[in-house]
Amino acid sequence: MSPLLSNLIFHNEFYLLLDFKDHSLLVFKSTENKVHRGHVTDTECRPDITAAFVKHWGTNATTLWPCVRLAGEDASQGKSKEDQKKQAMPYLHYLILARPDLYVARGLLISEESIMFLFAIGGRGIRRFAVDWSHTELYKSMYAFVYCLYDPGHFGDPSYVKMIPDLQTNLVAYTIRISTKTQVDGVEKEEHLDCPNFTPLHATNPFGTRTHILFIKSIFRY
């Protein structure tokens, strides 16, 4: 399955569009001056680059944090490589706090020499590796990286089966699947119960004892 890849530069705003068959369009936008909404901590941090599905983008090039698939950063001129890495880390901290449905959140750090792939692993920390722009295998790394943005696979929590955003209230509602296994006459049977309308209320300690608290918004009120 080959993506249709387009790079468009328009008035200093960068769009990276990838179109996979049978998937919603994933759009990368320059968002360095934009504050995304709906974060469980109410952060106002502003990643330089944000990826989200086209249907999740609102007005003024903003989206909800639970809809963000990637948060990236352009390397600042004049800073050391270590400082540049530290510059990109906070966005992954906030991204994985906003995404209880992901075991691994992704980011990028882009410089003139290379592109650094960042992986925020819940309960573990941040892993990274850099690839020079001139490397002949870069396209393979980029393809695999972006493919997982479309479909996290085993990097996502399968108990979160659906997410519905509300761009008016800045809230999202998850459907969580509870699975149980029982044995009847020696035969194991697995049953599933889908529970809708769970909304994030609190999140903390993403790289330690990761904690997410959700509530049923049809019952409770702020």
Q: List, for residues 152-184, the tens digit of each pLDDT value.
A: 999 999 999 999 999 889 999 999 999 888 887
Tell how far CA 125 is from the center of its chain.
15
If you search the block for the tokens 């925020």, which residue do you land on?
120
If you search the block for the tokens 């449905």, which residue do you land on?
101
Exposed (0-12), middle (13-18) or buried (19+): which is 66, by Cβ within 10 Å? buried
Q: Are 170 and 38 in contact (CB under 8 A)?
A: yes
Report the pLDDT value the prediction gives residue 107, as an integer from 0 to 100: 94
What is the model's pTM?
0.84
Report the pLDDT value the prediction gives residue 21, as an integer from 0 to 100: 66
**pLDDT band at residue 218 under the 50/70/90 scheme:** low
Mean pLDDT for the stretch of residues 186-199: 89
Mean pLDDT for the stretch of residues 120-131: 92
Return the higher-pLDDT residue of 137 and 79: 137
**pLDDT band at residue 14 under the 50/70/90 scheme:** very low
Joined tokens for residue 51: 């990826």
Question: In whole angstroms, what is the distance from residue 79 CA to residue 177 CA?
Answer: 46
Least confident of 1-5, 44-48, 197-201: 1-5
Q: Are 83 and 129 in contact (CB under 8 A)?
A: no
